[in-house]
């Protein structure tokens, strides 16, 4: 049509208008004003802070690439280096290296084939730990006080140490720190009760895979048939779980000898009840290669260096 500018003139006209808008001076009064000092004080004097970008607001903590790998403390316990509680202490002290690097973070997971090194300081600490053997009297509980009965640990004092103890170790209050029973004896039972600061000893005696023999002399009342004796040796169950084979024989006409490789709660008493026997006395005389021997009731001694459970 006549009077319509060519395309090139239309393009130049649009560019001119855009340029005009971009270069037009801005009225300062139209700009937003910064808050006054009074307004800032009303807001608590805080300066505005810029929110972090979404991707930085929730950065996950680094994790081991395989969450199924064991924790370092558990792996050290599995290797027999120490107990899990000891492992945690060693890790916090910086005494543990994994594949040549010091690890100080609890809960760290490691590959099952990782190479674990322990500093000599940890070994020295372990060698200073003691294990104590007590001949527990009737009327004391093995662990925490209960029903008004005292724990057997109150008997471990300088005065109650057996005069025949061959160990040269000198008693110090530090030997009671972290000392815990490795196993238990019922309040009505007596005999060998082991207390230790050494996690390796505790694992050996009460670990879930422990197979250390414990020997007991058990005074009973009631008749016992050959079939009943056979059931005591193998064939009974407690709480729906089959018991491991045991060695059970007559020590004399009133006393049985039990050798077990497990320690269920009140196991011997409950076993005897199932075959019609009543237990009137129970004494533990051996744990593994360590015997009660001549240790008097209520007295204690140190585990010798040549003794092994």
Active site residues: 186
Q: 62-70: long-range contacts at Cβ-Cβ below 8 A with a sequence spacing of 24 or more?
A: 64/108, 64/109, 64/110, 66/109, 66/111, 67/109, 69/109, 69/110, 69/111, 69/112, 70/109, 70/110, 70/112
CB atoms within 10 A of CB 264: 14
Tokens 């009133």, residue? 254
84 Cβ contact partners less than 8 Å away, ≥ 6 residues apart: 73, 74, 76, 77, 199
In angstroms, the CA 192 to CA 297 distance is 9
In angstroms, the CA 281 to CA 189 distance is 7
Q: 163-167: long-range contacts at Cβ-Cβ below 8 A with a sequence spacing of 24 or more?
A: 164/294, 164/295, 164/301, 165/301, 165/302, 166/301, 166/304, 167/301, 167/302, 167/303, 167/304
From its phi and psi, is residue 100 left (phi > 0), alpha (psi between -120 and 50) or beta?
left
DSSP state, residue 146: B
Tokens 């594949």, residue? 99
């Amino acid at each position: 049509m006549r009077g319509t500018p060519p395309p090139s003139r239309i393009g130049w006209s649009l560019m001119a208008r855009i340029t005009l808008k971009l270069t037009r001076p801005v009225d300062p009064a139209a700009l937003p004003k910064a808050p006054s000092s009074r307004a800032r004080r009303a807001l608590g004097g805080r300066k505005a802070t810029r929110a972090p970008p979404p991707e930085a607001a929730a950065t996950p903590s680094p994790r081991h690439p395989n969450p199924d790998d064991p924790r370092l403390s558990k792996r050290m316990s599995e290797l027999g280096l120490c107990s899990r509680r000891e492992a945690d202490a060693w890790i916090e002290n910086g005494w543990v290296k994994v594949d040549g690097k010091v690890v100080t973070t609890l809960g760290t997971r490691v590959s099952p084939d990782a190479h674990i090194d322990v500093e000599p300081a940890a070994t020295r600490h372990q060698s200073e730990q003691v294990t104590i053997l007590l001949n527990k009297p009737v009327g004391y509980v093995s662990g925490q006080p209960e029903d008004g009965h005292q724990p057997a640990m109150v008997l471990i004092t300088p005065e109650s140490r057996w005069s025949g103890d061959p160990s040269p170790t000198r008693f110090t209050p530090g030997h009671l720190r972290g000392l815990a029973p490795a196993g238990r004896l019922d309040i009505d039972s007596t005999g060998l009760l082991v207390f230790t600061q050494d996690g390796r000893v505790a694992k050996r005696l009460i670990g879930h895979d422990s197979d250390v023999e414990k020997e007991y002399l058990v005074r009973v009342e009631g008749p016992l048939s050959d079939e009943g004796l056979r059931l005591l040796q193998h064939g009974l169950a407690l709480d729906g779980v089959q018991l491991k084979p045991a060695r059970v024989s007559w020590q004399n006409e009133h006393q049985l000898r039990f050798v077990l490789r497990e320690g269920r709660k009140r196991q011997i008493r409950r076993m005897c009840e199932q075959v019609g026997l009543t237990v009137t006395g129970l004494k533990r005389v051996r744990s593994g290669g360590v015997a009660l021997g001549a240790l008097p009731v209520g007295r204690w001694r140190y585990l010798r260096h040549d003794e092994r459970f």
